[in-house]
Amino acid sequence: MAMRGIAWLPIALLILGIFLAWGGEWITWDWINSIVNGPWLDRARFCEEWFFYAPLFVYKWTCETWTGPFDLGKAWMDAGILIIGVSCFLLGYAFKPGIDALLRRLKARSTADSRD
């Protein structure tokens, strides 16, 4: 099957979407794990001890901004799933002529075999 000229773009978008969804799950899991294994029930102890670093240690969330990691992870997952859906549609559009040609060949072979 021959790809159209810009078929590399949907493939790159698909890879980006997979990594965004995967990264969102990772950061959300780490956030939940830090709360479950951390000082969650005692609010004073929670604010005293709980913190969560952003990926690559660029930011540190504290008890005042404790929902930040979840919001970031959820946004990454949502964006990843949306990008995966769009890229799959674009890949289907790019490969449609090749898929149609393959289906025509299979149908022709099937009708030729049924005549024998």
Residue 33 pLDDT > 90, yes or no? no
pLDDT digits (tens, 9 = 90+) for 47-91: 787 788 877 778 888 888 878 888 889 999 999 999 999 999 998
Domain housing 71: 8-115
- Residue bearing the bigger pLDDT, 50 or 101: 101
**Is the residue at 13 inside a domain?**
yes
Tokens of 42: 């005692």
Residue 1 pLDDT > 60, yes or no? no
**Is the residue at 87 inside a domain?**
yes
pTM for this one? 0.68
**Is the residue at 28 inside a domain?**
yes
**Is the residue at 2 inside a domain?**
no
How many domains does one find in the chain? 1
d(CA 68, CA 66): 5
**Is the residue at 3 inside a domain?**
no
**Is the residue at 31 inside a domain?**
yes
Count CB neighbours of 76 within 10 A: 21
Contacts of 21 (CB under 8 A, 6+ apart): 76, 77, 80, 81, 84
**Is the residue at 22 inside a domain?**
yes
Mean pLDDT, to the nearest integer, of 12-28?
93
Residue for token pair 């929902």: 67
So what's the pLDDT on residue 7? 78
**Is the residue at 26 inside a domain?**
yes
pLDDT digits (tens, 9 = 90+) for 35-45: 766 666 677 77
